[in-house]
Structure 1
Amino acid sequence: MIGDIQNYDVKQVLPLAVRGATYRGPDFDMSHYLGPAKAILAAEAQGSGITLNVKFQASDPAALGGSYNETGDTDKALNKVTSGKTKIAVQFTQSGARSIKRVALRLKKTGTIASDKLLTLTIETDSSGAPSGTALGTATILANSVGATYDWYDFVFTAPVDVADSTVYHLVLTSNYTASDTNYISWQGLTVASGGNAEDYTPWTDITTLNLLYRIFQYNFADIPGAAFTEVGNAAAFEAIHFPVADAKRIVRAVATVAGGTATGNSSCVMLAHKRFA
């Protein structure tokens, strides 16, 4: 039985939308809650031959995955007039099927950048050894938040980005500040003899003598037993399920998978969880 509703949080784990493929929702830290969580799915008819399946997954907190975490000795400037490099990237090969929550880059600022300008980091698929332009996830920070000496800055993805084992991806850094030789951002790197991870644009070119510094933090999601809704077909559905918070790992998300084509009906899901400290 649900007690005082003020002691509960309501989380929209799947926004109201028509879905055409697999959708992975934002992650939630369940350490703030206790007892069973209640999830409610509301779905319109999905269309003839179309099915929708929604389930919950859990993971331990994000752990360090791929990284290049050495002592840097050089700068790679972004969006200077003289260099003309509007994009800088790192190429990496993923180890294990995981979900990237945040990426830390070692950055510094030269001069002054307007307070509303952004640094944008995308995780992109590979196209013949270069970033494809297809962003799997996007995160931003304020360019002016970067200090004058090198430090680590986190780019946090609202929804974790799923990446496949033994697959090449690219971390692509861009900005929207005006190109300048006096006001710009640099990414710290280390000079190497060969095999560097760095790339710059335009066009995309490998920098074989430079490794840029980065850290990837990732989840390892797995299905929560018993935390799945009945498959939705070409009929509206409304269903509630419960799963014990104590039986799940700390981080939880919902995954919606559409099969058989593009759905024509909306679906949404919310989760109610009892606050540990009301």
Structure 2
Amino acid sequence: MIPEIGNFDVKPIFPLAVQAATGYSADFDLIDYIGKGLAILDAAAQGSGVTSNIKFQTSPEVVHGSSYLIAGDTNKALNLSTGGMTKLALQFTQSGARQIKTIALQLKQAGTIAEGKVLTLTIQADNAGAPAATVIGTAGTVLCSSIDSDYAWVTFTFATPVDLANATVYHIVLTGNYDASDTNYIAWNALTVATGGNGEQYTGAAWQEVATLNLMYYATQYNFADITGAVFDEVGNAASQQSTVININQGRFIRAKNTVAGGTATGATSVSLVLRKKDAA
């Protein structure tokens, strides 16, 4: 007997589009699903000499990663009128090859910032101890008006988890698009230290180390690993339609990786995953 279609959900892992270069899908929570999933691939020819290899990965629960959580005694203001810094940042060293899902900063709003103004958080590579121009990941923006007048944790979420390498220095960079002001601004909670602080500031011309400040933050991260056998056959310069069964009980979250080699892919690709609901009769 064929189960009712209402017992299943269809997740668009890679919505139909040209996947020009190697990349990852968004991550999906598997908590409401059970058993095996059916992955379906529909790919056009990728271009002469170009190949596409798509596989699935799972991760256990999200866990805390890098952080600094000691109670603060001061702050660093973003974008003041008087000598204000247009960017604030902190430096950290990643432990373990992991994928960052969220970063939370302890922030407050001074005064009243105009409606519609936002904060943007990026993870950037290192360049001789300062943030490099290379942006590794950009989180969804947060409205300044949503931030309290007292310090609270403000979470920035990455739609696609950001892959970081073990024992590697990165920088968390915070910017805001509100007008410079000495009364209406965002402040980042910090602790005064004698030396070795994680703080950094951008003057508009160059990055400066703020060695006497540790800025408050914490990250949450995944630990994705390949699902055994959860891979499509390689797609080259010919259209391909495939399906494969995946054991989804190996982890809490799932994503797909598309490895493109031999040049820039030009053919559209879509991948969907059919999942059985836990409450299905």
Q: TM-score, normalised by structure 1?
A: 0.96
Counterpart CA distance in 2 for 1:244 and 1:91 is 39
The one-character-per-residue Cα deviations of 1:65-108 (angstroms, maximum 9, x if unpaired) are: 11111010111001111132110001111111000000010101
The corresponding residue for 2:275 is: 273
Identity of aligned residues (%): 56
Counterpart CA distance in 2 for 1:132 and 1:9 is 42
* Matched pairs, number: 277
The question of 1:261 aligning with 2:250 is answered: no
- Kept in 1, the 8 Å contact 2:7–2:277? The answer is yes
267-276 or 66-75: bigger deviation: 267-276
Aligned with 2:229 (options 220, 226, 230): 226
32-41 or 68-77: bigger deviation: 32-41
The alpha-carbon deviation at position 222 of structure 1 amounts to 0.2
The corresponding residue for 2:14 is: 14
The corresponding residue for 1:82 is: 82
Counterpart CA distance in 1 for 2:274 and 2:66 is 34
Read off the aligned partner of 1:171 and give its amino acid letter.
I
Equivalent residue runs for 1:179-194 within 5 Å: 179-194=180-195
Aligned with 1:217 (options 207, 217, 220): 220
Structure 1 regions of 5+ residues with no counterpart?
none
The question of 1:245 aligning with 2:248 is answered: yes
SS at match of 1:262: coil
Structure 2 regions of 5+ residues with no counterpart?
none
107-116 or 152-161: bigger deviation: 107-116
The one-character-per-residue Cα deviations of 1:3-45 (angstroms, maximum 9, x if unpaired) are: 3222322211113232333211111110111221111111111
The corresponding residue for 1:159 is: 160
SS at match of 1:31: coil
- Kept in 1, the 8 Å contact 2:77–2:84? The answer is no
Counterpart CA distance in 1 for 2:116 and 2:10 is 32
Counterpart CA distance in 2 for 1:38 and 1:16 is 17
The corresponding residue for 2:64 is: 64
Counterpart CA distance in 1 for 2:52 and 2:200 is 40
Assess, with a 3 A threshold, how the Cα gap between structure 1 residues 68 and 240 changes in structure 2: closer, same or farther: same
12-21 or 197-206: bigger deviation: 12-21
Equivalent residue runs for 1:44-193 within 5 Å: 44-139=44-139, 140-193=141-194
Assess, with a 3 A threshold, how the Cα gap between structure 1 residues 52 and 2 changes in structure 2: closer, same or farther: farther
Counterpart CA distance in 1 for 2:32 and 2:181 is 45
4+ aligned runs moved over 4 Å, structure 1: none
Assess, with a 3 A threshold, how the Cα gap between structure 1 residues 2 and 233 changes in structure 2: closer, same or farther: farther
Assess, with a 3 A threshold, how the Cα gap between structure 1 residues 119 and 2 changes in structure 2: closer, same or farther: farther
Counterpart CA distance in 2 for 1:189 and 1:229 is 48
SS at match of 2:31: helix
- Kept in 1, the 8 Å contact 2:98–2:222? The answer is yes
